[in-house]
Amino acid sequence: MKIAVSACLMGDNVRYDGSNKRNKELIRLLESHEIVRLCPEAMVFAIPHPPIELQHERVIDSAGYDHTEELEAACKECLKKIEGCDLVILKSRSPSCGSGEIYDGSFSGTLIKGNGLFAALCLSENYQVYTENDLKIIKDVLDRSL
Ligand code: SF4
């Protein structure tokens, strides 16, 4: 299968603080599949950069600056990159990649229901979107594809 994956889950140091969220178990599951890595935020921001969150559908950094238009444009570019992918696996809770829950924009670690900008775009295009918290489901989907 051809699978789009958040670059930070694959171990790329693209997070706001220059770190990654490498997920060994996910990487092992994906070993024999074609991977398309993506990171909308790395297309917009230098690394490291201040953290961002969604506030009423606007992309705001911790200093109060609005980056909505730039990040929306990057997400659209990423959507082109993943054309033809069978699955999309994104980092949970991110303002770009989060699916189902995201931080509430207060930079206090509070979660609310919602999707990051890129996840929402993928869902609107009917991609199957999972996070690193769905490893069992992902394994079942991959097993069925064999
Ligand atoms: S969650 Fe998405 S936007 Fe954030 S660092 Fe990972 S790949 Fe990039």
Please tell me the distance between residue 39's alpha carbon and the centre of ligand 1 in angstroms: 5
Model confidence pTM above 0.95: yes
Cβ of 75 closer than 6 Å to ligand 1, yes or no, is no
Please tell me the distance between residue 143's alpha carbon and the centre of ligand 1 in angstroms: 26
Probe residue for ligand 1, chosen from 38, 53, 94 as the CB with the greatest number of ligand atoms within 8 Å: 94
pLDDT by residue, tens only, the chain of 146 residues: 999 999 999 999 999 999 999 999 999 999 999 999 999 999 999 999 999 999 999 999 999 999 999 999 999 999 999 999 999 999 999 999 999 999 999 999 999 999 999 999 999 999 999 999 999 999 999 999 87
Tell me the DSSP string of 66-128. B-HHHHHHHHHHHHHHTTT-SEEEE-TB-TTT--SEEE-SSSSS-EEE---HHHHHHHHTT--
